A and B are shown apart, each in its own frame.
Chain A
Amino acid sequence: MAERSDPRRRAKRSTGRSTTTRGTARTRRSPSGQAAPDHAAPGAGAKESFDERAVDADSGGERGERIAAIASALADLADAVRALPAAVLDALPDEVAAALRTGARRLAGEYSEDEWGRDPEFERAFEPLLDFLYERWWRVTVVGVERLPARGPVLLVANHAGFLPWDALMVKTAVRRAHPSPRTIRFLELDWAFATPWLSTLVRKLGGVPATPYNALRLLEEGGAVLAFPEGVRAAQRRFPERYRIQRFGRGGVVEIALRARATLVPVAVVGSEEAHPHIADVPWLGRLFGLPTLPVTPTFPLLGPLGLVPLPARWRIEFCRPLELERVGPDAAEDRAYVFEVSEKLRAALQESVYANLAARGPAFF
């Protein structure tokens, strides 16, 4: 923040109050000989400069003295007004005062966001809700989270369900809660989320980035952990009877990026996401109205309206499988299309097997 030191401050005479104000002091020129207009609290700098000028003015000491007295009274009033919020805050209970201070700080723009848009403070504020979903609503069981390397580029590959990124958030929460040395996980999300108001902001602040190979590669090259859903939009189009049947992985782009960045490939099986929003039918034309490929119909949505977006309390089970063993890594391996397809199939098979195993281990979905 720019701190301006008003040179006229040094020579102040009749005001004699302390000049420790937070924020910037404005250097404002006021017309000589006239009372400066009172612009709320932070205008005190003007009072001082005006003050001096009034005292030095040629036009009669008496009038100058009166104006100086008015100016000093106004300055005292400004001081009192400025001290008021701090006094009020001190009177409130600690948590409320802290919350208000944080709110004020955030409203002033003094919070940090990294270059991808992730906001650590916001994430922490979201943790209670995610913890509730993790512990009570979905009663998530995590298996094998220690298989996730604590350092180095890691590409987590998971099966996806539905349109909303609940699975990504649950995987992040699982790592945060159960891993011995938790690390930040960013996830790739389809571009429809970034074209939707509110959701785009929310997803970004929680560490989501648009799902393109450029983003994944850059994040991996920076040494991060990235969670990808290679099924893409096909996962969201899958209906409830076909649940947990992993769709084909497209052109193997995910594997190619992992090979190019020399990242560890960790398959993650997520069971429970399909039952959170059971996809029973579609309304394509309504979906297109909202910019979605289609509007999914679940038992609660769109019947109950926005309330239908609340996910059902199924039981979840997340397993971090053993990292895939790759004979070759590096840009040359990534160029070999046959090898990429082979690894892609191996990955898909491993993931499908793990999903079915965890499905059996979980048992009935709701009870």
Chain B
Amino acid sequence: MSGRRILITGAGSYVGSSLAARLEREPWVEAIFAVDTRPPRLTFERTEVIDADIRSPVLGRLLPQIAVDTVVHNQIVRQPGPNMSPRKMHEINVIGTLQLLTACEKADSVRAIVIRGSAGIYGAEAGAPQFFTEEASRLYPPRTRFQRDVAEIENYFEAFARRHSRVVCTMLRYQPAIGPTVQTQITRFLSLPVVPTFLGFDPRLQFIHEEDAVAALVAAVQKPVRGAVNVAAPGTIGLTRMLRLLGKPTLPLVAPLFELFADQLARLRIANFSEDFRRLLRYGRGVDISRLCSELGYEPRYTTEEAVREFAATREGMSLVPSLRRLLAAVS
């Protein structure tokens, strides 16, 4: 497939900018358009950067002009912040996606849409399957606002795919990304000097390394498949073990105190943990990646444990207090 013309939304994020940079090097890509209100993280050679807000109908006017055949929607906001209220998140996620899909409807040239969604649609439940398969997305009622928003986005996307069968619609459900560069809730959580946990719980967590996150997106753009695909690293890791590998002092708290602590951290602008993330820290979540490996043809290079170890290795030189691990290494 030569001469692909690709539009990327949310290009101001790490994954968006890295995706554009990676695609620039590919010979089968003719043109790349990066859309975001934020400036991109990297400098591009042949990518055209467009400053636009996807919540506005500007994309509807833009798409027919630039004649792209692939749209990568990377602007799903997963983490709240001081400038990112739940209402704004809802607007960007749901309204932004709706506007994008409307714009794609009007543009005849669009042949493939890839949305980088979240595995948060499965929720985080106590009695959940350890590895969610793609069809098990409706096992539990949505408990948080973000989960409802992602479910809504997927509904619209499915309806769009049914109405326009000539467009290949791929919904990628990403587990949280972890790595030296990317800034997600989990990396911020692991950067706290003292880490709060739920007393008595040791959830199974699954991540994806930041490099694999971008590479999987490139694979999805190169060979779009229809339907939902889970994107995560193989294997899981327990929260307790992960914190011990990182040498982090923990603060186990009962649920009400944890909520209090997390709310205080948000109030003090230290870190803002969404409800989904808090549930993840309590119950964990794993997804099955056989569809990623077989249909999309992408095998992640890092397992969850390897991704965590690499993250630990890069963080080790940055702390002032020698971590618990080094002291224990002297003993054992």
A interface, CB within 8 angstroms of B: 1-2, 4, 22-24, 26-28, 39-43, 82, 85-86, 89, 100-101, 104-111, 113, 115-117, 190-192, 194-201, 204, 209-212, 214-215, 218
Contact = CB atoms under 8 A, between A and B. Distances in A.
Interface stretch (B38-46, B200-208, B262-270): B200-208
B245 A191 contact: no
A199 B326 CA distance: 31
B332 A115 contact: no
A24 B242 CA distance: 18
A198 B200 contact: yes
Contact of A24 (B243, B244, B326): B326
A108 B329 CA distance: 7
Interface centre among B125, B200, B326 (most CB of A within 10 A): B326
Given A23-B330, A115-B236, A191 B322 contact: no
A194 B309 contact: no
28 contacts: A23-B326, A24-B313, A24-B326, A39-B322, A43-B322, A85-B331, A101-B331, A104-B332, A108-B328, A110-B332, A115-B130, A115-B235, A115-B236, A116-B204, A117-B202, A117-B204, A190-B127, A191-B127, A197-B199, A197-B201, A197-B254, A201-B201, A201-B202, A204-B204, A212-B129, A214-B132, A214-B136, A215-B129
B273 interface: no
A238 B128 CA distance: 25
B227 interface: no
A42 B328 contact: no
B302 to A, nearest CB: 14
B256 interface: no
Contacts of B331: 85-86, 89, 100-101, 104
Contacts of B204: 115-117, 204
A40 B320 CA distance: 11
Contacts of A197: 198-201, 254
B200 A42 contact: no
B283 interface: yes
A4 B314 CA distance: 11
A281 to B, nearest CB: 26
Nearest to B235: A115
Give the bracket for the number of chain B residues in contact with chain A: 35 or more
Given A27-B317, A108-B332, A200-B200, A214 B133 contact: yes
Contact of B330 (A1, A22, A28, A201): A22
Contacts of B300: none
A276 B34 CA distance: 66
A125 to B, nearest CB: 16
A285 to B, nearest CB: 20
A41 B330 contact: yes
B286 interface: yes
Interface in B127-164: 127-133, 136
A340 B328 CA distance: 55
Nearest to A216: B129
B254 to A, nearest CB: 8
A210 to B, nearest CB: 4
Given A26-B317, A116-B236, A212-B129, 15 more contacts: A27-B317, A28-B317, A40-B327, A41-B326, A100-B331, A101-B332, A104-B332, A109-B244, A113-B237, A115-B236, A116-B130, A197-B198, A204-B202, A211-B127, A214-B136
A87 to B, nearest CB: 11
Nearest to B332: A104
A154 B194 CA distance: 44
Given A26-B317, A109-B241, A197-B198, A215 B130 contact: yes
Given A109-B325, A198-B200, A191 B126 contact: yes
A292 B189 CA distance: 31
A210 B198 contact: no
Interface of B: 125-133, 136, 198-202, 204, 235-238, 240-247, 254, 283, 286, 288, 309, 312-313, 316-317, 320-322, 324-332
Contact of B328 (A2, A105, A192, A201): A105
B328 A107 contact: yes
A218 B128 CA distance: 13
Nearest to A191: B127
A195 B331 CA distance: 35
A214 to B, nearest CB: 4
Given A197-B199, A214-B133, A113 B241 contact: yes
Contacts of A204: 202, 204
A105 B198 CA distance: 23
B183 to A, nearest CB: 21
Given A1-B309, A24-B316, A109-B325, A201 B200 contact: yes
Contact of B201 (A23, A86, A115, A200): A200
B241 A218 contact: no
Contacts of A41: 322, 326-327, 330
Contacts of A28: 317
Nearest to B131: A218
A191 B139 CA distance: 14
B241 A42 contact: no
Contact of B126 (A23, A108, A210): A210
The 5 closest A-B CB pairs, nearest first, are A191-B127, A197-B200, A109-B244, A214-B129, A23-B329
Interface centre among A39, A43, A201 (most CB of B within 10 A): A201
B283 A194 contact: yes
Nearest to B316: A24
Contacts of A209: 130
B127 A42 contact: no
Contact of B322 (A2, A42, A190, A212): A42
A2 B316 contact: yes
Contacts of A100: 331
A109 B245 contact: yes
A197 B126 CA distance: 11
Nearest to B308: A109
Contacts of A199: 200
Interface centre among B126, B235, B243, B324 (most CB of A within 10 A): B126
B126 A195 contact: yes
